[in-house]
Amino acid sequence: MTLSEKIIRLRKANGWSQENLAEKLNVSRQTVSRWEGSTALPDAGNILQLSKLFAVTADYLLNDDYESDNDLPKVKEINQDGLNQIMFFLVMLEVMTLIIQFMAAIILQNTFFAVLSFIPFVAAIGGFEYAYQKNAAKANNATKVFRKKFYKISAWLGMYFPTRFIVKALAYFYPRPYNTLVLECIILAIYLMTVTLILLQIEKKSIDNSK
């Protein structure tokens, strides 16, 4: 994105006309028009004024390769570290939920507690998605990749016990002469098939959004 395109985008994002921007910078409207038309470039002083006015860095304004301040190498590095920490805590929460479900369903064999233990998992996904949608307009590629990765991990961690619960419920209401091993194999097969379908849907949605 060129400097002229960035000035146009930032000006419109603030709801300013060329006249409004010119007044704030103490230049003529024609000067702003020439900047946005790429027939003239702001001098160093104007670049600094623009960066302060729009709350962006001068590096972002001057480098055509940067789509936002988030693309600056140092900012990118900090953002990635932050995303990695969020991913770690979210996945740990889901793993803890999985362990609780295992204890409730396999060791204690208590269906009520197994279902109840699924609430933190749903809360983690719901909270994450709410935060993402609230800031969707500011989402960059790294955030979108993070979101896709999070949902893929969540599919693997979160679908086993719901699948197990449903299959067990069906086996209870529609009993068949299955032994325990056969039933466990059926649960595993349905779980793998369900996760695969979810992963394919995530990939498809990701491709559709990138068009």
Report CA 202 to chain centroid distance, whole Å: 12
Distances (CA, A) of 144 to 17, 141, 186: 32, 5, 34
What pLDDT was estimated at residue 65?
61
Q: Are residues 128 and 195 in the same domain?
A: yes
What pLDDT was estimated at residue 73?
42
The Cα–Cα gap between 190 and 207 comes to: 26
**Residue span of the structural domain in which 10 resides:** 3-67
Look-up: residue for tokens 């394919």? 200
What pLDDT was estimated at residue 76?
47
Between CA 147 and CA 130, with CA 55 as vertex, the angle to 5 degrees is 25
Q: Are residues 127 and 166 in the same domain?
A: yes
Q: DSSP string of 11-70?
A: HHHTT--HHHHHHHHTS-HHHHHHHHTTSS---HHHHHHHHHHHT--HHHHH-TT-SSGG
**Given a cut of 50, is residue 52 above it in pLDDT?**
yes
Q: Are residues 62 and 94 in the same domain?
A: no
Q: Among 67, 83, 101, where does a domain finish?
A: 67
Question: How many structural domains comprise the chain?
Answer: 2
Residues contacting 27, CB < 8 A, separation 6+: 46
Mean per-residue pLDDT for 57-85? 57
Tokens standing for 195? 């996760």
**Given a cut of 50, is residue 62 above it in pLDDT?**
yes
- What mean pLDDT is reported for the chain? 80
What pLDDT was estimated at residue 83?
62
User: What is the pTM for the complete model shown?
Assistant: 0.55
**Given a cut of 80, is residue 82 above it in pLDDT?**
no
What CATH number corresponds to the domain at position 62? 1.10.260.40
Judge contact between 87 and 150, C-beta under 8 A.
yes
What pLDDT was estimated at residue 19?
93
Mean per-residue pLDDT for 44-48? 86
Q: Are residues 89 and 175 in the same domain?
A: yes
